[in-house]
Amino acid sequence: MASRGKSLIGKVPLVILQLAIAFLVLAPFFWMLSVSLKPANEPFAIPARLWPDNPTLENYILAFRPEFRRYFLNSIIVSGATVLITVPLALLAAYSLTRYQFRILSVFLAAVILAQFFPAGAMIIPIYKMVKAANLLDTYASLIIAYITVTLPVAIWMLRGFLTRVPKTLEEAAAIDGARPLRAFFDIVIPLARPGIVATTVFVLIVTWQEFLFALSFTSTKEMRTLPVGMNDYIGQYGIRYGELMASSVMVSLPVIVIFFFLQRQFVSGLTAGAVKG
Amino acid sequence: MAYGFMLPAAILVAGLMYWPMIDTFRESLYATTFLNPNPTFIGLKTYEQLFGDSTFWQIVRNSIIWTIGVVFLQNVGGFLIALLLNQKLPGQGILRSLILLPWVLPGVVAAILWRFMYDPQLGLINSFFMRLGIVEHGVGWLAEPSTAMAAVIFAAFWKGFPFSTVVFLAALQNVDQEQVEAAKIDGAGSLRRLFDVVIPAIWPVAVVNVLLTTILTFNYFDIIYVLTRGGPLNATAIFPTRIYEVGFGQFKFGEAAAYGSLSVLVLVLFVGLLLLVQRRQVKAA
């Protein structure tokens, strides 16, 4: 570490920088929270007041209206189904990529990684037309299929990083002991790759929870909209009821923030393993 | 068995990613309008029209400014912040967790938050500047064509920098400390050590990071769409927002698809150029 041996005083500028960064990151969150707790009858002063005089939860109660609950439910269904399908599919694909050495598999991996960078904007028109032709507009299925497709490449890539580190010799030992390959997969590979599975799950969840473009294009009725699209609708709808808008923002963000902070360590190592080690 | 494991993923990626990419180009050869929803083949005519349209060139220019702006801030800023977080200081553990907050925040929520931060009357930024006496009246950062682009770039930087920082931080922790110590014994100052040892060591990670953020930023839709819808007067319109507007706002699927195909072309050229510059630099060094 570069700063070893420096006196405490020498560290003061760095601590100030730390505080500046914390401020940059937290100021918008602070503002979101402050406005969400502001009672409707407390007028907006100009320049704006930093913290409400009488903080209240009334905005949260108002914002948690039936349509918001519906958006919430839709988001949970779509994200949940995507995670439940993507992660096992990616696990199987990543497993065969690390355990079998066929040329076609490395071609496949390259193709999958390349696909990860396709602009969603460039694909949206044909995908929309497909969804429409299949009569799937305004359905969960359309979103779930689209989300599985866009999250699969990254999920395969992340899991592959973890599975390469699960030594093959363990499975071979199990095979000698008479275990069938599938059995070795469930009893040895999956438990050892668990941190990777957790990291991938969190990643897929974060991506699908906030996905906007497909949800905006594929859904048109209030019953089928997910949280991000619903939030976008709110901007005009709420007019100057910023308190409710911010309260719903807090409620939308909370689930991912909570999950993320519980599983943070595993997630960060999963994300950086691939990028740093190539 | 290997193929069986791979098959579902292969079918989805081929059918829903590769095929649409090809189909976008086919679609762009047809004209569909709101009044005439049956596609008629018109060949490359849409492209001809676009090349003669100043809006198209504005989109190209905006996309490049937006991408360079965000990628530069995210990577240079992200790296500097990673350097700071890599120092032995109190509270680093908490700070390392905290900085990830913006990245976890859903894009639409981040955009709503920044819409509010930039608000001429109620925004925290104007309130801050007014208290300091820098501005007299609230500035409509997102409503002025001259400031809108900078405003959306900053919001995107805020949302995206944690990713770069985390990756850089991991790379910094992998730097061979013996080399750093050796340079120190040779009398290299901390800046010298940074440029001669640390930066070369993390360079490969930096290249990957820049490429990754370039592609993701170029394709990023949420922040701009929610903050400005591409306005005012197309001042912040980039490929993804334009494609959405033309396709789903005006129902001109052919034109939207042409924008889509061209966005791929621009992105490929852009990334190619980046790789070329990077290779030159490595050779020159």
The full set of domain ranges for chain B reads: 51-284
- Between CA A128 and CA A106 the distance in angstroms is 30
Which residues of chain A lie closer than 8 angstroms to B248, CB-CB? 128, 216-217
How large is the average pLDDT for residues B148-176? 92
Which residues of chain B lie closer than 8 angstroms to A14, CB-CB? 84, 87, 89
- The 3-state DSSP class for residue B204 equals helix
Question: Given an 8 Å threshold on Cβ–Cβ distance, is B253 in contact with A125?
Answer: yes
For chain A, list residues with pLDDT below 50. 1-5, 275, 277-278
Instruction: Give how far A67 is from chain B: nearest CA, Å.
Output: 17
Q: What is the largest CA-CA distance in chain B?
A: 76
Closest alpha carbon within chain A to B85 = A18
Question: Given an 8 Å threshold on Cβ–Cβ distance, is B102 in contact with A35?
Answer: no
The CATH code that applies to domain A59-277 is 1.10.3720.10
**Domain parsing of chain A, residue ranges:** 1-56, 59-277
Instruction: Give how far A256 is from chain B: nearest CA, Å.
Output: 7
CB B48 within 8 A of CB B29: no
Instruction: Give how far A90 is from chain B: nearest CA, Å.
Output: 7
Question: Given an 8 Å threshold on Cβ–Cβ distance, is B24 in contact with A122?
Answer: yes
B127: nearest CB among A47, A152, A253 = A47
CB A248 within 8 A of CB A234: yes
> What does the pLDDT read at residue A2?
46
> What does the pLDDT read at residue A43?
59
| β-bridge partners, B41 | B30
Instruction: Identify the CATH homologous superfamily for domain B51-284.
Output: MetI-like (1.10.3720.10)
- Between CA B1 and CA A258 the distance in angstroms is 39
Helices (H), chain B: 2-13, 19-28, 45-51, 54-72, 78-85, 92-98, 101-104, 107-117, 124-132, 145-173, 177-185, 190-193, 199-218, 222-228, 239-244, 253-284
Closest CA to B70 of B200, B236, B201, B231: B236
pLDDT one-digit tens code per residue, B165-213: 999 998 898 888 888 888 888 887 888 888 888 898 889 889 888 998 9
Q: Characterize the bridge pairing of strands B40-41 and B30-31.
A: antiparallel
- Between CA A56 and CA A39 the distance in angstroms is 6
Instruction: Give how far A41 is from chain B: nearest CA, Å.
Output: 15
Question: Given an 8 Å threshold on Cβ–Cβ distance, is A129 in contact with B253?
Answer: yes
CB A144 within 8 A of CB A208: no
- Between CA B159 and CA B149 the distance in angstroms is 15
Q: Is ipTM > 0.90 here?
A: no
> What does the pLDDT read at residue B94?
87
Q: At A180, phi and psi to the nearest 5?
A: -75, 155
Pick from A197-211, B5-19, B55-69, B85-99 the range whose average pLDDT is largest.
Answer: B55-69
Question: Given an 8 Å threshold on Cβ–Cβ distance, is A21 in contact with B104?
Answer: no
pLDDT one-digit tens code per residue, A221-269: 989 999 999 998 888 776 667 888 899 999 999 998 888 888 877 777 6
> What does the pLDDT read at residue A175?
75
Tokens matching residue A119 = 């602009």
Upper half-sphere CA count for residue A51 (Cβ side, 13 Å): 3
A96: nearest CB among B6, B98, B112 = B6
Size of interface A-B (CB pairs under 8 A): 272
Tokens matching residue B172 = 């910094």
